[in-house]
Amino acid sequence: MEDNSGLSSRGLFLMIETLFTQALGLVAPWQVAEVIFKPESGRIDFQVRFGAANHACPACGAAAQPLHDRLARSWR
């Protein structure tokens, strides 16, 4: 499916994800994975994905630390 911009729906979806990733200041391996606009409630919900299985500890810098906290959270 294409809109009048000539973008496919997949292309538009990737553009929106990229926009939110940049607007939030996320850098790899973080990225916005899904954006859902809910006009009836005035909300924009999005999912943030961490694209790595291991990462350096942000506190001490220890390398290859496994991820353990993947709870859904809400911010206002």
Angle in degrees, CA 56, 14, 43, rounded to 5: 90
Find the radius of gyration of the CA atoms of the chain: 16
> 71: which 2 tokens?
């709870």
Amino acid at 23: A
Write down the pTM of the prediction. 0.62
Give the tens place of pLDDT for each residue, 12-62: 888 888 888 899 998 888 888 888 889 999 888 888 888 887 888 878 888
